[in-house]
Copies of this chain bind each other. A is one copy, B any other.
């Protein structure tokens, strides 16, 4: 009897693959909803983080919304053109730029939040309340243990 070796196990059994697959699917669904407002998922993330009303530096934002620094800069450029957010130089550290959400951004963010909540509720229905919260817990732990 051959020993079961991980090297030969199908890709569908790798955690990295399962995460990628699940992420792709859930993200696709969310994308579909947000496209009603013509906004990519990343912009929703940005608006949501900024909607606490505080100024957030680019570096901080990049980490929070899971984007590389230059990618974020260019996305913010577009959002500034659309007057959803605006830049202010940090008075305490002039290397930094603080990002703020505009009134127009707040209005859009509300609409997007409700579309996103729609999706979460759809997941709860088909996947179950218990599984969902258990999955969230495990993901949080995984993220913590990876730092």
Contact = CB atoms under 8 A, between A and B. Distances in A.
B120 A15 contact: yes
Contacts of A140: 18
Contact of A139 (B7, B19, B45, B132): B19
Majority secondary structure of chain A interface residues (helix, strand, loop or mixed): helix
Interface string A124-147: 001100011011101111110110
Nearest to A30: B16
Contacts of A88: none
A143 to B, nearest CB: 5
Given A110-B7, A117-B6, A138-B138, A146 B26 contact: yes
A142 B125 CA distance: 12
Interface of A: 6-8, 10-11, 13-27, 29-30, 41, 45, 48-49, 64, 66, 110, 113-114, 116-117, 119-120, 123, 126-127, 131-132, 134-136, 138-143, 145-146
26 contacts: A7-B110, A7-B114, A8-B113, A14-B116, A15-B132, A15-B135, A15-B136, A15-B139, A16-B26, A16-B30, A18-B136, A18-B139, A18-B140, A19-B19, A19-B22, A19-B139, A20-B66, A21-B143, A22-B23, A23-B23, A25-B146, A127-B142, A127-B146, A135-B135, A135-B139, A135-B142
